[in-house]
A and B are shown apart, each in its own frame.
Chain A
Amino acid sequence: MDVNLITIFILAIFVGNEIINKVPPTLHTPLMSGSNAISGIAIVGALLAIRVGGEMGTYIGLAALICATINVVGGFLVTDRMLKMFKKK
């Protein structure tokens, strides 16, 4: 395991901690569904697993791709649907 990757990992946790703490309680549900969509970044890994003639690994990759796409598309859409409702009179 590359120490660079661990560095990125640790720093990202600190960044996450800083920005998430500033999200007001009123937006915690959209935060959750939105961050859910972001964790759908696994879609990148799924795409890379779907190689021509990759046999078993390819089909497992396809299953992963479907799961991750649901997360990405559904997550961003439903977050937008919620945030649209937050209005100030």
Chain B
Amino acid sequence: MNLFYLISAVCFILGLKRLSHPRTARSGNFLAALGMLIAIAATLASSNVLDTNLILIGVGVGSLIGFLFATRVQMTEMPQMVAIFNGLGGAASALIASAEFLSNPNSPYIIVCLSVFIGSLTFTGSFIAFGKLQGIISGRAITFKGQQLFNALIALASLVLILTPNLLASDLMTAFTVIIILALILGIGLTIPIGGADMPVVISLLNSYSGVAAAATGFLIDNQALIISGSLVGASGLILTNIMCKGMNRSLANVIFGAVGAESSSGSSAEGKEMNIKSYSTTEAAMILDAAEKIIIVPGYGLAVAQAQHITREVADTLESKGKKVYYAIHPVAGRMPGHMNVLLAEANVSYDLLKDLDEINPEFEDCDVALILGANDVVNPAARHDQSSPIYGMPILNVDKSKTVIINKRSMNPGFAGVQNELFGYDNSIMVFGDAKDMLNSLLKEIKEL
């Protein structure tokens, strides 16, 4: 029995390993799916007390819902879907631990509680994250006085109930029920004060939790497959959380407890300064691009919102056909979750070898003729490098200002997520082309073709 679980664990590990390159990634995902099939088949074959009819119903309903989710979801909605899946993963772990506790009251209480606690917290936390990303709940940080004290008290009460249940509750069953309720509330309490811009961190963290919950359940039902896979996912989520935090130059504690974005920003140093903004037409922008040899496109989330990835790729293709080198610079927090922008560009048929991450592309700006900024703002603000009073000071940015010319497309002069005005717009080598990204790129494409 355990031999089969070992085989599936090896499949998972090799599958994740193949994700290290886009060429092998698809086969890696297939291998991991095969590992899952082996684990399921081995489990079904191992026991003869299972209720097959109920299992068929469960697998049928789950497969249908999973299939509909996977085939219908838009690529821009990926963060929401991953949030839902995280939540379901947490719920599954919590439910299994509850089922185990109800049918066998002698099961180890502390492990039952840990599994149920992490699972329930992941469940409500993920659905709040989903609500914020989907716009059902305000994307702003929702805060109230004493919020952190409230969360701390719930966490403390849960801890006491897990470690010494007799101190607060009459019996284990009561303690167990109260822990579930507290964990569900804590999941909400920890997620509502986090602003929309910080959601990439939250999703990564909840991803990690869902793994930890599965591992805890593995300890409970004495199952290596759950422990190995759970810890793989736990580690993965934590690494991505770390990358996202670094990308925003924030500590994890600051994201979780900082409540950034609760009120409109308290103003910044650049706001008072007069900036000399040069507004150009698409005709002029086309001429600058036509004279360039090396062009780096910097897409921001605004581009995806405008559904302008496809027209961007057409512009890039046209420039390439004129013998120019075109790359895409992707900041770690360009999308709404780790790697989101890459998926959106891949969907628009951009070749993956043209997508460059921060470390890879930054030296390239030195000899770059034109940096074309589409819907990105804070991630290209040079103030992050030198202005200590700026809220984004220290954040790693794309050094677009080192290019000979910077063309910035924006709808208007509104500041970005961090509420900071971008000093880049006033630089001598910067020019602005105002307008909706899609419209601007369409007319830019026409102009370039006519040249």
Chain A residues with a Cβ under 8 A of chain B: 1-2, 5, 8-9, 12-13, 15-17, 19-58, 60-89
Q: How far is the CA of A26 from the CA of B415 in the complex (A)?
A: 27
Chain A residue contacts of B40, Cβ below 8 A: 43-44, 47
Chain B residue contacts of A75, Cβ below 8 A: 66, 70, 85
Q: B26-58: which have CB < 8 Å to A?
A: 26, 28-30, 32-33, 36, 39-40, 43-44, 47, 49-51, 54-55, 57-58
Cβ-defined partner of B217 (8 Å) among A45, A72, A87: A45
B36, A38: Cβ atoms under 8 Å?
yes
Verify if B195 is at the interface (C-beta below 8 Å from A): no
Chain A residue contacts of B19, Cβ below 8 A: 23, 27, 30-31, 34
Closest to B87 in A: A67
A52, B99: Cβ atoms under 8 Å?
no
Verify if B264 is at the interface (C-beta below 8 Å from A): no
Q: A20-B236, A36-B207, A44-B226 are in contact. List 9 more A-B contacts (CB 8 A).
A: A9-B227, A12-B231, A29-B342, A36-B82, A41-B214, A47-B43, A52-B50, A69-B62, A78-B78
Chain A residue contacts of B47, Cβ below 8 A: 48
Q: How far is the CA of A1 from the CA of B12 in the complex (A)?
A: 25
Say how far A76's CB is from chain B's closest CB, in angstroms.
Answer: 4
A78, B69: Cβ atoms under 8 Å?
yes
Given contacts A31-B240, A60-B102, contact A12 B228 (CB under 8 A): yes
Verify if B332 is at the interface (C-beta below 8 Å from A): yes
Chain B residue contacts of A20, Cβ below 8 A: 16, 232, 235-236, 239-240
Chain B residues with a Cβ under 8 A of chain A: 5, 8, 12-13, 15-17, 19-23, 25-26, 28-30, 32-33, 36, 39-40, 43-44, 47, 49-51, 54-55, 57-59, 61-63, 65-67, 69-71, 73, 75, 78, 81-82, 85-86, 88-89, 91-93, 95-96, 98-100, 102-103, 108, 111, 203-204, 207, 210-211, 213-215, 217-219, 221-237, 239-240, 243, 330, 332, 335, 337-340, 342-343, 346-347, 349, 351-353, 355, 357
Closest to B357 in A: A25
A25, B339: Cβ atoms under 8 Å?
yes
Say how far B109's CB is from chain A's closest CB, in angstroms.
Answer: 12
Closest to B27 in A: A83
Chain B residue contacts of A77, Cβ below 8 A: 66-67, 70-71
Q: List 10 A-B pairs, minimum CB-CB distance, nearest first.
A: A69-B62, A28-B339, A16-B235, A73-B66, A74-B66, A65-B58, A57-B103, A77-B70, A28-B338, A64-B95
Q: Is the interface of A mostly helix, strand, loop or mixed?
A: helix
Given contacts A13-B231, A45-B217, A60-B95, contact A71 B239 (CB under 8 A): no
A66, B61: Cβ atoms under 8 Å?
yes
A33, B85: Cβ atoms under 8 Å?
yes
A39, B233: Cβ atoms under 8 Å?
yes
Chain A residue contacts of B111, Cβ below 8 A: 1
Chain B residue contacts of A35, Cβ below 8 A: 16, 207, 211, 232-233, 236-237
Given contacts A27-B25, A50-B54, A83-B22, contact A60 B75 (CB under 8 A): no
Given contacts A36-B86, A85-B347, contact A42 B32 (CB under 8 A): no
Closest to A46 in B: B96
Say how far A74's CB is from chain B's closest CB, in angstroms.
Answer: 3
Q: How far is the CA of A30 from the CA of B28 in the complex (A)?
A: 11
A81, B71: Cβ atoms under 8 Å?
yes
A51, B57: Cβ atoms under 8 Å?
no
A27, B232: Cβ atoms under 8 Å?
no
Q: How far is the CA of A72 from the CA of B82 in the complex (A)?
A: 12
Q: How far is the CA of A45 from the CA of B233 in the complex (A)?
A: 17
12 contacts between A and B (CB under 8 A): A12-B227, A27-B20, A33-B81, A38-B36, A44-B5, A47-B44, A47-B55, A48-B223, A52-B51, A76-B32, A78-B81, A83-B29
Chain B residue contacts of A71, Cβ below 8 A: 66, 85, 88-89, 92
Say how far A56's CB is from chain B's closest CB, in angstroms.
Answer: 5
A42, B89: Cβ atoms under 8 Å?
yes
Chain A residue contacts of B228, Cβ below 8 A: 8, 12
Most buried by B among A13, A24, A45, A75: A45
Given contacts A26-B352, A74-B65, contact A42 B214 (CB under 8 A): yes
B62, A70: Cβ atoms under 8 Å?
yes
